[in-house]
Amino acid sequence: MRLLPLYAFTMFFFWKFLVLYGGDGPLFYQYHDKTNCQRFWFWHFVFLNNLVPWNEQDTCLPWTWYLANDFQFFLLVPILVAYYADQEKRSKFYYVIGAIAGVNSLIQAVVILANSLSVSYFTY
């Protein structure tokens, strides 16, 4: 809750204010196209912006993917630590870690396969 108001202000500042009063350099006209927050702004407020625009590029503060990543780990790690700390649930901890690793490997294989089928390596 401490981070969200500052994050909302920063998003509004870069999205609306800086475009109007930010600069007049030779490449500043491109800034409006690079900070398009109209479609994906909601996913930034629920800290899922590193996952949700799956097939599209999120141009609304693209450097904030780490905030979402950090917040997701902030929610996940105490649950895993609670499973590990309890002796009766320690076997469940290993199953959960194994399931997370298995899902992660499956997602990586799907992404690698999808990208290798769509890219030709022998184009010159």
Structural domain for 39, as ranges: 3-68
pLDDT at 109: 92
Is the separation of the CB atoms in 18 and 61 below 8 Å?
no
In a domain, 63, yes or no: yes
pTM of the model: 0.66
d(CA 109, CA 116): 10
pLDDT at 70: 92
In a domain, 102, yes or no: no
In a domain, 83, yes or no: no
- pLDDT, averaged per 10 consecutive residues of the chain (124 residues), comes to 85 74 66 69 85 73 86 91 89 91 94 76 56
In a domain, 103, yes or no: no
Q: Locate 82 and state its tokens.
A: 């609670």
In a domain, 55, yes or no: yes
**Domain total in the chain:** 1
d(CA 109, CA 97): 18
In a domain, 25, yes or no: yes
In a domain, 112, yes or no: no
In a domain, 81, yes or no: no
pLDDT at 120: 60
